[in-house]
Chains A and B, each alone.
Chain A
Amino acid sequence: MRDEEAARGGAHGAGAGTDPDAELLARLRRGDEDAFRTLVEEHGPFLMRLVMMHVPSRSIAEEVVGDTWLAVLNGLDRFEGRSSLRTWIASIALNKARTRGTREGRIVPFALLRRRYEEGGGPSVDADRFQGRHGERPGWWASPPVAWEEPERQLEAAETRDVMLRAIRDLPPRQREVIALRDISGWDAEEVRNALDLSETNQRVLLHRARSKVRAALEEYLRPETEETTP
């Protein structure tokens, strides 16, 4: 998509309030190694997670994250502090990850098929789960969701986390980025909008699609063994 714009959006998007990163930035520009270490410790984990959504292996992700930090250092003088430091760093990482992900042949399988869903087409739940026009209550559940077994325990299990991560990897890129930042990294809507250069509505639509699909993947995985019949 519009990588250049996304990067610029990151640098020019936010513009509100004072810059909490100012002191850290000043230290970085002076070449303070502790400041750099702080920066890496604070933002490294989420960068790894973000990048791993786009590339096939951990080692490639580490390279991309490393490249990102170099680009951050080299771009420090140009960073105007109009968005948060984190937003700016994320947009650099995303650009690099997208480029690398495409080059490594990740993303590409099924990408064309999925492209039409990119900006939010397709229903949140398959249409055949609902009663048709001639049903007793059209548009109401025909095959309703069933309660998950031991959700508290299951949802914390490593296997379930893999199910969620796989579901996220299968999402179209924009949805994947939005859900990774909003729900895994815990950013707020405004930060995500700025980093990804999205409208407020678009951000929410992409998030909704993504969450709906992850829930569907969990439903598939956590549904009780005994087949529930449709009412």
Chain B
Amino acid sequence: MNRRQKRMLTCQEMVELVTDYLEGRLDDAARARFDAHVAECDACTLYIEQMRMTIVALGHIPTDSISREAEEELLAAFRNWRDQTA
């Protein structure tokens, strides 16, 4: 195994790599260095956990639907479009 990974990643470097890590974009060597840091650093473990929680929370934001009136207008516009193009 190639030993380019002597130096431990710093926390400051870790926080820049979290998305690459979560998206599976780190190569094996980088991932090994990332994991090695996590194994030793509770603060970064928490940081990554909070990034995950953030992503989950964003996914739970309800998306707005359009109002009834807007939908009616839209369907009227559709009929209008259909009649024009028919």
A contact set with B: CB distance below 8 Å = 31, 33, 36-37, 40, 44-46, 48-49, 52, 58, 62, 65-66, 69-70, 73-74, 123-125, 127, 130, 137-141, 144-148, 151, 155-156, 160-161, 164-165, 179, 183-186, 189, 204, 207-208, 211-212, 214-215, 218-219
Task: Show 22 residue pairs from A and B whose CB-CB distance is below 8 angstroms, ordered by the A residue.
Answer: A33-B75, A33-B78, A40-B71, A40-B74, A44-B66, A49-B63, A62-B66, A66-B70, A66-B73, A66-B77, A69-B77, A69-B78, A125-B12, A125-B47, A130-B10, A137-B10, A147-B46, A155-B60, A164-B61, A184-B58, A204-B23, A211-B19
- Asked whether, in the complex, the Cβ of A130 is within 8 Å of the Cβ of B65, the reply is no
Out of B10, B63, B81, name the residue touching A73 (CB < 8 Å): B81
B contact set with A: CB distance below 8 Å = 10-13, 15-16, 18-20, 23, 25, 41, 43-44, 46-47, 50-51, 53-61, 63-67, 70-71, 73-75, 77-79, 81-82, 85-86
Pick the most buried of B10, B74, B82, B85: most chain A CB atoms within 10 A of its CB.
B74
